[in-house]
Structure 1
Amino acid sequence: MLDNALRKAAAIWVAPAGGAPRLVWALWRDGAVLVAVGGTEQEVPGLADGVRCAVTVRSPSTHSHLLDATATARLVEPDEVTAAALRSARLNAAPRWESVYRLEFA
């Protein structure tokens, strides 16, 4: 169910340990969620390498609660293909981020 819900979600709620939940755009790729932060992108206070996060997914059509899961944030340097996927998933004309985190589910 997690895989299916995250494939369809364009945005998820992320709450780094001790932090408030933030609605963020996200990209499901290779069994994890990618979240770009900083620059012209969203800010997620408390998101850092190795931090555990609570993730909430809501239905894209009804906005009803679908599931909660726990993930660990891993700072990554996206390769060209992944960076292109992140750019194409955004509505920003030229998105620029400072960091990309891969949220890995246990």
Structure 2
Amino acid sequence: MEITRILDAALRKAAAVWITSPGHGPRLVHAHWRADALWVITGGTEQSVPGLTDGAEVTVTVRSPSTHSHLVDAPAVARLTEPDEETAQALRTARLNTKPEWEAVYRLEFSA
């Protein structure tokens, strides 16, 4: 799947993307790429992402990790999920300088 390959190459090095959710403009969001999906944590001590709900169709805008120019806009569906312990630990580790406490975890799934 071409879009997954492009996202995989770009998001291995990126810690943030722009997410446009229904009824809201683009918002810079910290995210973590794992298992061909983009993981976003919200609430608690973490970021607020208005319009990000279970089943929401969103657009993820990715910039090139080397030039920071626009790379791709990719449609995705947000799925509210309970991460397994390995994924939860990866999300905690990805935040580096904070002790994340979240209320919700979304797995953004990309279509072909």
Give the TM-score normalised by the residue count of structure 1: 0.93
Moved over 6 A (4+): none
Q: Which residue matches 2:64?
A: 59
Q: Structure 1 residues 85 and 65, CA, compared in 2 at 3 Å: closer, same or farther? A: same
For structure 2, list consecutive stretches of 5 or more residues without a partner in the other structure: 1-5
| Residues 72, 103 of structure 1: 8 Å contact kept | yes
Q: Determine which of 21, 29, 37 is the counterpart of 2:26.
A: 21
Secondary structure of 1:74's counterpart equals: strand
Identity %: 67
For structure 1, list consecutive stretches of 5 or more residues without a partner in the other structure: none
| Residues 58, 67 of structure 1: 8 Å contact kept | yes
Q: Determine which of 73, 98, 104 is the counterpart of 2:103.
A: 98
Pairwise CA RMSD: 1.1
Which residues in structure 2 correspond to 1:13-52 (within 5 Å)? Answer: 13-52=18-57
48-57 vs 6-15, which moves further:
6-15
Secondary structure of 1:8's counterpart equals: coil
Q: Determine which of 73, 76, 81 is the counterpart of 2:78.
A: 73
- Could you tell me which amino acid in structure 2 is paired with residue 38 of structure 1? G
